Chains A and B, each alone.
Chain A
Amino acid sequence: MAVESPKMNVDIGSLRLSNPVMTASGTFGYGEEFSSLVNLHRLGAIIVKGISLLPRQGNPPQRIAETACGLLNAIGLANVGLERFFSEKLPFFDAIETPLIVNILGDTVEEYQELAARLNDEERIAAIEVNISCPNVKQGGVAFGTDPEMAHKVTHAVCQHFNRPVIVKLSPNVTDISLIARAVEDGGADAVSLINTILAMAIDIESCRPKLANVFGGLSGPAIKPVALRMVWQTAESVSIPVIGIGGISSPEDAIEFLLAGAKAVQVGTANFINPRAAEEIIQGIESYMVKKGFASIEEMIGRARKS
């Protein structure tokens, strides 16, 4: 039997979302950039560009390259830093009711901790998402997200200083992502989001040089979706906290696959570059699908593909 208006809302810990579709960090600026093209109020949540304690210039160009159905980037986490985020970017959200999630990154556990503490004072910020794909400069530059112990430690430090939901964004550049997921769950994370970009490269055969000045970059876009879906499936099996699916989601069908695999919500990333209204259209498409299939709520869909 058809359902007239299915329930689109989901909860990520204590964070209540009107629908399960968010914009992924690094693909939606600080929200304002998209305001003339997108109805920001329709989005489940907005996750802004990753913030560090101090501003970062980012990598030298060439920073991006296009690959088959994909985008390679080595932006180098360029961002305005916490102070300018507060003074220049945050006020825009006074007029926006959509939950604001701030993505954070750092070189040391202490940096993450300080970011969490400072952001905790800003009531407007509904949750934080912790990017643990950065190198820990005090541990020989090994990425926090590739070592269960470091991932646990940084998660724990952030959770101690932030009293609202903490989402930890996982790196796919590991042997067993569910191991890292369990470590951050133990560390107190309220949810995990995955996947971040996949380490990759491209070479320019005219100049005979790597296309990116940084040589390696992160691959995103439709090309990585099947990998992301597999990792979401594995992670959903291993943890009891909500899993947020990310990776090449460009259409309602893509988003639905992630929900059926066990994700409680999704993030739209690279697709924002190609179609700034992708997230809005995905929300509408999920709703139409639910009506057609007779799902009364998002909850009914989550992990459906896992049930025999």
Chain B
Amino acid sequence: MQAFKELAEIVRKEKVAEDLYRLTVKAPDIAEFSRPGQFVMVRTVEGMDPLLRRPFSVHQVSGGDMLQIFFKVIGKGTKALAGMEPGQQVDILGPFGQSFTMAEDSLHILVGGGIGTAPLLFLAKHLLKKNEVYSLRVLLGARTGNEIARVAEDFTNLGLTVDIITEDGSLGRQGLVTDLMTELQQDKQIMVYGCGPYPMLRAVAGICRENSWACQVSLETMMACGLAACLGCAVMRADMQGYVYVCKDGPVLDMNEVAWL
């Protein structure tokens, strides 16, 4: 797999909501080769603490050389990254991992939870190259509205129908994103593309199995390298006879490949 190391200049920083940021960087090689679902490894400081790079899904690519990541401040690394300003450079490796497989002749259901919506915008744009607007549905869930309001707007601007549900009811209906799934019409072959926290994905996979829908999920784990060298990102395989590695076999996996422990 072709991967690159680029010193990418930050061209735009957008504070989407409290602790939620989008960074646009100029990384021509990585942007050119990125496919929806793939990720990059970003060095958040020049020093040694935090030591490891942080993995981020590619949120969008634009203009042929720009790449965007969407993240929430949760620890030292993301805090450092949120403190960076346009004009500064970040050291990025990628693109890594398996991308989403675009299904054919299906109703495409994009299911995102919180910051897990990150790779779905890029996916939607790719799907729209070959599919009509009405064959895509976007279901977004979050704890609270401001976590997804901005991204929901981006989907809407693509002409897509977006259903929103929040745990606190501050935006859209009140409930979990899986509640929206149970209301889906089943007159067509369905492909679900899920990304979000692990418990949500497990619930999404459960509903897909019950309804015999195909489902791909994008998993997130800790990883040290992204290169399948550290083997830190192991997830138990469905047959319980070994592990899949999120960086190399994923991050996008068919729901049937995972044991869902």
- Answer whether residue A121 sits at the interface, using C-beta atoms and an 8 A cutoff: no
Contact with A along B227-261 (1 / 0, CB 8 A): 11111111110000111000000000000000000
- Known interface pairs A27-B229, A33-B227, A276-B93; A61-B235 also in contact (CB < 8 Å): yes
State which of A63, A70, A222, A276 has its C-beta within 8 Å of the C-beta of B234.
A63
Which residue of chain A is the closest to B235 with respect to CB atoms? A61
Q: How far is the CB of B63 from chain A (nearest CB, A)?
A: 24
Number of interface residues of A (CB under 8 A): 36
- Answer whether residue B222 sits at the interface, using C-beta atoms and an 8 A cutoff: yes
Complex-state Cα separation, A291 to B236, whole angstroms: 51
- Answer whether residue A5 sits at the interface, using C-beta atoms and an 8 A cutoff: no
Q: Which residues of the other chain, B, contact A274 by a CB distance below 8 angstroms?
A: 43, 51-53
- Near A by CB (< 8 A), chain B positions 87-105 give 91, 93
- Known interface pairs A36-B2, A66-B50; A75-B227 also in contact (CB < 8 Å): no
- Known interface pairs A37-B3, A276-B227, A277-B5; A71-B51 also in contact (CB < 8 Å): yes
Q: Judging by beta carbons under 8 Å apart, are A58 and B243 in contact? A: yes
- Known interface pairs A61-B221, A61-B235, A274-B53; A29-B243 also in contact (CB < 8 Å): no
- Near B by CB (< 8 A), chain A positions 59-98 give 59-66, 68-71, 73, 75, 78
Q: Which residues of the other chain, A, contact B231 by a CB distance below 8 angstroms?
A: 58, 63, 75, 78
> What is the count of residue pairs linking A and B with beta-carbon distances less than 8 angstroms?
97
- Answer whether residue B184 sits at the interface, using C-beta atoms and an 8 A cutoff: no
Complex-state Cα separation, A37 to B228, whole angstroms: 13
Q: Which residues of the other chain, B, contact A49 by a CB distance below 8 angstroms?
A: 229
Contact with B along A242-255 (1 / 0, CB 8 A): 00000000100000
Interface size class of B (residues with CB under 8 A): 20 to 34
Q: Judging by beta carbons under 8 Å apart, are A273 and B230 in contact? A: yes
Contact with B along A208-242 (1 / 0, CB 8 A): 00000000000001100000000000000000000
Q: Which residues of the other chain, B, contact A62 by a CB distance below 8 angstroms?
A: 222
- Known interface pairs A65-B222, A78-B234; A34-B53 also in contact (CB < 8 Å): no
Complex-state Cα separation, A241 to B233, whole angstroms: 38
- Known interface pairs A36-B3, A65-B222, A276-B5; A221-B228 also in contact (CB < 8 Å): no
Q: Judging by beta carbons under 8 Å apart, are B227 and A222 in contact? A: no
- Answer whether residue A160 sits at the interface, using C-beta atoms and an 8 A cutoff: no
Chain A: residues with CB nearer than 8 A to chain B? 26-29, 33-34, 36-37, 49, 57-66, 68-71, 73, 75, 78, 221-222, 250, 270, 272-277
Which residue of chain B is the closest to A250 with respect to CB atoms? B48
Complex-state Cα separation, A75 to B2, whole angstroms: 26
Complex-state Cα separation, A36 to B230, whole angstroms: 17
Task: Pick 29 A–B contacts, CB within 8 A, sort by A.
Answer: A26-B229, A26-B230, A27-B229, A33-B228, A34-B227, A36-B4, A37-B3, A37-B4, A37-B93, A37-B227, A57-B243, A58-B243, A63-B233, A65-B222, A66-B222, A66-B224, A70-B51, A71-B52, A73-B232, A78-B234, A250-B48, A272-B225, A273-B52, A273-B225, A274-B43, A274-B51, A275-B91, A276-B93, A277-B5
Q: Judging by beta carbons under 8 Å apart, are A64 and B232 in contact? A: yes
Q: Judging by beta carbons under 8 Å apart, are B49 and A69 in contact? A: yes
Complex-state Cα separation, A38 to B208, whole angstroms: 42
State which of A37, A59, A75, A222 has its C-beta within 8 Å of the C-beta of B230.
A75
Q: Which residues of the other chain, B, contact A65 by a CB distance below 8 angstroms?
A: 222
Complex-state Cα separation, A128 to B75, whole angstroms: 40
15 A-B pairs besides A58-B243, A273-B230 with CB distance below 8 A are A36-B2, A37-B227, A64-B223, A66-B52, A68-B49, A69-B48, A69-B51, A73-B232, A75-B231, A221-B48, A222-B48, A272-B225, A273-B52, A273-B225, A277-B5
Q: Which residues of the other chain, A, contact B229 by a CB distance below 8 angstroms?
A: 26-29, 33-34, 49, 272-273
Complex-state Cα separation, A30 to B129, whole angstroms: 38
